[in-house]
Each structure stands twice: as C-alpha cells, then as structure tokens.
C-alpha cells in the first residue's frame, strides 16, 4: 500500500525567510509525484508533476525536487500570499490514475 508522509505538519515563516517542505513516500513503482496548493475553503490547485529521481521544476518562488525516497518543495523568499496548505500526492503501480495524498503542510508566512 502506498504511503505518503509530509513534514512538518505546520511551518511558520517570516516574509523572505526561505525554507523547504518534505514529502517522503513508499510506493511500488512510482509513476508520478504531484504537488498541490490548497487555500482554505477551496480545492487543491495543481502546481507540479515530477516523474523521476533528479527531476526539478520551478514556478515563481517554488521549486520542487525528487529523489527515490522523497520530494522537497523549496520556497525562496516567501510572501504572505504563499500561505496555504501544500499537499503531496503519488501515483504508482498498476493504476495510472489514483492519487494517494499526504496530510499536507500548513504554511504561514508572516509579513
């Protein structure tokens, strides 16, 4: 059974203070690892898909990286508008559609 563990559960940063969120996974045959952002009262918003170890993707202040056991979401010089819950999900094995999510990291960026 696929398992996804995100840490920390919550992270509080000052504006401009860079940091990283971690997503550790245990799967049989990773097909893809996904990062989503979720604001309160809204559905998850797609950010990135990573397919293989060593892959990196960037979008504005966010950069996602992938190894064989974990993924990191690096946030450079965050702003208050980056405050949200960041969810990691994996797709693996014989199913090319089912996503298994972690519980998320609640990020708060103070001005």
Partner 1 sequence: GAGVSQSPRYKVAKRGQDVALRCDPISGHVSLFWYQQALGQGPEFLTYFQNEAQLDKSGLPSDRFFAERPEGSVSTLKIQRTQQEDSAVYLCASSLARASGVYEQYFGPGTRLTVT
Q: Which residues bind partner 1 (CB under 8 A)?
A: 4, 31-32, 34, 36, 41-46, 49, 51, 87, 89, 91, 95-104
CB 75 within 8 A of CB 62: yes
**Residue closer to partner 1 (CB basis): 14 or 28:** 28
Stated as kind and residue range, the H or E segment containing 74 is strand 70-75
Find the shortest distance in angstroms from Cβ 98 to partner 1. 5
Find the shortest distance in angstroms from Cβ 56 to partner 1. 17
| Tokens standing for residue 35 | 């990062």
User: How far is Cα 93 from Cα 88, in angstroms, rounded to an integer?
Assistant: 17
Find the shortest distance in angstroms from Cβ 82 to partner 1. 19
Find the shortest distance in angstroms from Cβ 71 to partner 1. 14
User: How far is Cα 64 from Cα 73, in angstroms, rounded to an integer?
Assistant: 5
Phi first, then psi: what are they for 52, rounded to 5°? -145, 155
**Residue closer to partner 1 (CB basis): 8 or 16:** 8
User: How far is Cα 69 from Cα 101, in angstroms, rounded to an integer?
Assistant: 15
């Amino acid at each position: 059974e696929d398992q996804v563990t995100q840490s920390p559960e919550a992270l509080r940063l000052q504006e401009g203070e860079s940091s990283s969120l971690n997503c550790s996974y245990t799967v049989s045959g990773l097909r893809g690892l996904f990062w989503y952002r979720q604001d309160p009262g809204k559905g998850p918003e797609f950010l990135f898909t990573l397919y293989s170890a060593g892959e990196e993707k960037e979008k504005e202040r966010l950069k996602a990286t992938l190894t064989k056991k974990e993924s990191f979401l690096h946030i450079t010089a965050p702003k208050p508008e980056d405050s949200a819950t960041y969810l990691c999900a994996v797709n693996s094995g014989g199913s090319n559609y089912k996503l298994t999510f972690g519980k998320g990291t609640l990020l708060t960026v103070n001005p």
